[in-house]
Structures are given as C-alpha cells and as structure tokens.
Structure 1
Amino acid sequence: MAVILWALFAVALLPYLARLPVARAMNQLGGYDNHLPRAQQARLEGMGARANAAHYNSFEALQLFLAAVLGCVVSGNYDLTMQVLAWLYVGCRVAFILLYLLDYALLRSIVWVVGVGAVFSMIVRAALSV
C-alpha cells in the first residue's frame, strides 16, 4: 500500500509544483499581486496562461486519483498492477504539465487520455476486487 500512497503524495504535490511557473509569470507581469492574484492570473498570456491552466487542472485531476486510491484502500487491492497503474498516472500527470507548458496540445491530450485510462482501470480493478 505504501507504493500507492507515495504515488498519491506525488499527485498531491503536483498542483503546487505547477504553480511555480505561474508565480514567475505573475512577477514578470509587474510583480506578484497578492491582493488580487486571480485577476492578475486572468491577464496572463502564453506560457503563463498555460502554466495557470496546468495548475488548476492538477487540482481537478487529484480528485479522480483520490477516488482510485480510496478504491484500493476499500478493496484491499494493492497488487503490482495497481502500483504500476498508479505510477503510470503520476508519470502522465508530470508529462501533461510539461507538455502544457511547452504548448504541445495534441500530445498533451494523448497523455491525458492514457492517464485517465490508468486511473479508471484502478477504479474498475478495485471494484472487481470487492
């Protein structure tokens, strides 16, 4: 189970790591506006806007992975396949963020589909284990 929990830690950390380029882009846009950061983020363009989208998408993606990990816990299924699927998802999320920053939209979408497939596979395998 520890392997899957470390994967959960990695996925939970990604939104915060994805935030770093957003803060940098905000600083380049006249300094970080801590009073109205979302208004400033709405004015970002290019890589800054893509970094902001990747940041928010990482929080959205975390919820689905939490459901899969909960399924593993409830079913007691932490086998090697589940561990591989969990870390495949982590790899897809890292690649997704990098591809978002680099503006490779099609490849990013393909990686997203693979990641979602991995996490749904975890959920289905957990449901079949109960």
Structure 2
Amino acid sequence: MTFAGLTLAYWTVLVAALLPIACAGLAKWGMFSKPRREGGYDNHNPRAWLAQQGDWRARANAAQANSFESLPFYIGAVIIAHQLGAFQTRLDLMAFLYVVLRLMYILFYLADMATLRSLVWTVALAVNIAILFI
C-alpha cells in the first residue's frame, strides 16, 4: 500500500520521527504564556528548565529522550526490510504496530505506569527486531 509514493511503513517512520517532538511539546504545555520569573518556560535555557520540572512534565521529557533513542534502530530496520524485499503487507502491519506501541509507551510514561511502560517498551523492541528480520 502506497500513498504519495511512500509505503505505510515509510509513513510510520515520519510519525515515529514526530513522536519526540510531540513529547517535548507536552513537557512544555501551558508554560509558554507564564513569565520565566514565575517558573514559565525558559526558551533561553530550555534544557535547564526541563531538568527542573517534575511529575508528568519530567516524564514527558524522558519519553522524548527515549523516543529519540529508539528512532535510529527503527528507521534502519524499516529501510533494511524494504531493501531486502520484505512482504509489504506484513512490513506495513508491523511498522504500524510499532508506532501504536510507542504511543502506548508515551501514554504509560505520562501516567506513571512504570511496569506497563516497560512491558510495552520490550514488546516494541521485539517488533522492531522482527521488522529487521522480516
């Protein structure tokens, strides 16, 4: 299945690449209009500001970091699977499943559900490895 010349698996690469940006936005949500001196977002020193955050903002930032960390392996697996001529429908389904699992991972991270988050992370890793060897 293709749209605009890209397979569904390639479109999931775009979605996966946008997930860390979405996490960063969540971490900063609602703090742009608040003055810096009152704890609002500090665009002059964003990493230090994020490091001072707690609760769900800190978890959103951690989800951002993990999303960036998982991205190179996922992109590589999808490209390698395409190059090796993987059965497209299977690849598309597994790539879609990977993105759904990463979304669940982010939601569980935000909700502070550590055990479920780790379980979903493990399953997503297994799916990524499976994509590589399709």
TM-score (norm 2): 0.86
Q: Which amino acid aligns with 1:110?
A: L
Q: Which residue of 1 aligns with 2:18?
A: 13
Computed over aligned residues only, the root mean square deviation of the Cα atoms, in angstroms, reads: 1.6
For the 8 Å contact 1:26–1:41, the answer to whether it is kept is no
TM-fit CA distance, 1:20 = 1.5
Aligned to 1:76, what secondary structure does the other structure show?
Answer: coil
Q: Residue by residue, what CA displacement relative to the aligned partner does 1:47-102 show, whole Å, maximum 9, x if unpaired?
A: 11101000111111111111111212321224222111111100000000010000
* Aligned positions, number: 125
Which of 71, 78, 81 is matched with 1:62 structurally? 71
Greater share of helix: 1
User: In the TM superposition, what are the counterparts of 1:25-104 in structure 2 within 5 Å?
Assistant: 27=32, 30-104=39-113
Cα 1:10–1:78 change in 2 (3 A) is farther
Q: Give, in whole Å, the separation in 2 of the partners of 1:78 and 1:52.
A: 36
Q: Residue by residue, what CA displacement relative to the aligned partner does 1:1-54 show, whole Å, maximum 9, x if unpaired?
A: 611111111111111111122112755661111111111111111111101000
Are positions 1:4 and 2:9 aligned together? yes
Cα 1:100–1:25 change in 2 (3 A) is farther
Larger deviation, residues 91-100 vs 55-64: 55-64
Q: Which runs of 5+ in 1 are unaligned?
A: 126-130
TM-score (norm 1): 0.88
For the 8 Å contact 2:81–2:133, the answer to whether it is kept is no
Identical aligned residues as a percent: 38
